[in-house]
């Protein structure tokens, strides 16, 4: 009797355990799937975005930033809308990521060993390297650091809770004497500004953050790389297994379609043409000269649906905002119109600021309408800018050449590869419209986009300043 009772209870507990385990696995599976399911059912993707030039900011032409655009593309893939919560520091972004309602946190976050213990990272989408950035005056007094040993005795401040603070702590355990302060009060870009104003000697930033910010600060200089290259990724909600799997699949497709390379090109390619002296002059004239013509650029922007920052940047590239500018070839005014083009546009006086700006905007608008419908998005503007610079005929030649070379004739990333070939005899003699300074056209477009970025960042700072008042 006892044996049968024991057998009964053994079977009972086995069945009970099996059912409980099965039910638990079902609940666990439902928990893991709920994030992606909830996002799609609710139609909202809740994200935290760091408010910075490398991540997300509101410019005069709307929301901008490499990571914002990447998230925007992913939300469109999911068929949902972005709901953005902004953070001002990395530490704040990571704290906000713990909110159970947050699905993704985007703050140019490096995947460090310490962070991976505490956060659920998605797939890597960018690679950067930590760099020491210091005030230029240290070059003159012989204190400019060339390696980690040279950091001894310098005033160094980095963000609390950043990968930079982790790097410094690691170096300290290896025996290096580094006097560093960790702050939660200032963002990485604010610390760059403090280096620029000589309030601190150095800070540490990711390489992509440095290249974007070197155009804004006259007194900073790159000292040396302090880390190997690290992967950057979004932090996901802890119960987001299916969201992570979907993200890996989408990012793979995004890379293969060349959309990722186009996005990186949009934000980082123009830094290759960075010239600080020219940028410093642009910043100065943006404060002192641009306000004189701002209302005309705004009027033209509204009338022809072209971003204000683009029109103003185009004008600077053409004339440095000199209404009496004249070239050896006879083009004149703020938008440097030829006599024939001016007459075609109805511009009676090319040196009249309002007529020139509205005429130039109208001209660009007309060019954009001639760009092939297969050229989409922001590439349409870039194709039109090339045509504004060297003529529509040469753009058609470049497209034909791109097609012959097996490239995408409707992609700016590919067109800018072939434009420099228009000045080479081997190629231009085979094309209908012959020789053109294609290399200069590429630099022309990249310079305009660099100026645009500066104007949009300045606009963002003005908006934040007004909001704080």
Task: Write the burial class of residue 44 (CB in 10 Å: 0-12 exposed, 13-18 middle, 19+ buried).
Answer: middle
Residue whose token pair is 């600021």: 353
| Residue of 67, 92, 130, 318 marked catalytic | 318
Residue written as tokens 């991976």? 116
User: What DSSP state is assigned to residue 431?
Assistant: S
Which ranges in 174-240 belong to alpha helices (H)? 188-196, 207-213
Distance between CA atoms of residues 55 and 74, nearest Å: 15
Residue 379 CB partners (closer than 8 Å, separation 6+): 262, 410, 411, 412
Query: How remote is the C-alpha of 127 from its chain's centroid?
Result: 13
Q: Six-digit token pair at 193?
A: 């500004």
DSSP-based three-state secondary structure for 202: strand
Q: Which two tokens stand for residue 40?
A: 């799609």
Contact 409/402 with Cβ under 8 angstroms? yes
d(CA 185, CA 373): 48
- Tokens for 279, please give them: 């940028």
Q: Is 318 a catalytic residue?
A: yes
Between CA 90 and CA 387 the distance in angstroms is 42
Q: What's 132's DSSP letter?
A: E
Among candidates 205, 185, 35, which has minimal Cα distance to 104? 35
Q: With residue 182 as reference, give the H or E element that holds it.
A: strand 180-183
The upper half-sphere exposure of residue 410, i.e. CA atoms within 13 Å in the direction of its Cβ, equals 8
**What is the spatial distance between Cα 20 and Cα 185, in angstroms, rounded to a whole number?**
49
Contact 197, 104 (CB under 8 A): no
Q: Identify how many contiguous H helices and E strands the chain contains and give both numbers.
A: 20, 10
| CA 20 from centre of chain | 50
Beta carbons of 433 and 414 less than 8 angstroms apart: no
Return the biggest CA–CA distance within the chain: 113
The CA distance from 94 to 118, in Å, is: 10
Cα 125 to the center of its chain, rounded Å: 13
By annotation, the residues acting in catalysis are: 318
């Amino acid at each position: 009797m006892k044996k049968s009772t024991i057998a009964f209870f053994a079977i009972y507990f086995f069945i009970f355990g099996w059912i409980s385990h099965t039910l638990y696995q079902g609940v666990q599976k439902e928990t893991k799937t709920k994030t992606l399911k909830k996002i799609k059912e609710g139609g909202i993707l809740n994200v935290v975005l760091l408010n910075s030039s490398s991540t997300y900011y509101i410019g005069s032409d709307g929301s901008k930033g490499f990571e914002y655009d990447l998230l925007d593309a992913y939300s469109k893939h999911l068929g949902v809308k972005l709901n953005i919560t902004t953070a001002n520091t990395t530490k704040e972004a990571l704290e906000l990521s713990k909110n159970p309602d947050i699905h993704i946190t985007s703050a140019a976050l490096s995947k460090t060993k310490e962070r991976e213990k505490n956060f659920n990272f998605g797939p890597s989408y960018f690679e950067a390297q930590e760099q020491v950035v210091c005030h230029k005056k240290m070059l003159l007094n012989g204190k400019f650091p060339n390696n980690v040993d040279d950091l001894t005795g310098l005033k160094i401040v980095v963000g609390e809770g950043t990968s930079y603070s982790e790097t410094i702590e690691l170096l300290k355990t290896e025996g290096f004497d580094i006097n560093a302060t960790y702050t939660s009060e200032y963002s990485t870009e604010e610390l760059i500004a403090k280096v620029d104003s000589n309030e601190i000697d150095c800070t540490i930033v990711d390489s992509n953050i440095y290249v974007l910010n070197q155009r804004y600060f006259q007194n900073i200089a790159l000292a040396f790389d302090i880390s190997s290259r690290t992967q950057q990724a979004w932090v996901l909600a802890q119960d987001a297994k299916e969201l992570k799997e979907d993200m890996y699949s989408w990012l793979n497709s995004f890379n293969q379609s060349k959309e990722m390379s186009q996005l990186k090109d949009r934000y980082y390619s123009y830094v290759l043409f960075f010239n600080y002296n020219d940028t410093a002059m642009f910043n100065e004239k943006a404060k002192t000269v641009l306000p004189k013509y701002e209302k005309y650029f705004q009027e033209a922007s509204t009338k022809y649906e072209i971003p204000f920052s683009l029109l103003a940047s185009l004008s600077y590239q053409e004339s440095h905002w000199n209404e009496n500018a004249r070239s050896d070839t006879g083009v004149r005014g703020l938008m440097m119109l030829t006599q024939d083009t001016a007459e075609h546009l109805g511009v009676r006086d090319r040196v009249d600021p309002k007529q020139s700006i509205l005429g130039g905007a109208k001209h660009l608008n007309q060019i954009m309408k001639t760009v092939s419908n297969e050229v989409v998005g922001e590439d349409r503007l870039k194709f039109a800018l090339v045509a504004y610079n060297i003529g529509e005929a040469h753009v058609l030649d470049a497209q034909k050449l791109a097609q012959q070379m097996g490239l995408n004739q409707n992609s700016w990333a590919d067109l800018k590869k072939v434009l420099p070939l228009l000045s080479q005899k081997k190629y231009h003699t085979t094309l209908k419209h012959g020789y053109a300074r294609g290399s200069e056209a590429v630099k022309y477009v990249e310079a305009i986009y660099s100026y645009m970025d500066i104007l949009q960042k300045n606009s963002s700072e003005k908006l934040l300043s007004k909001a704080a008042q």
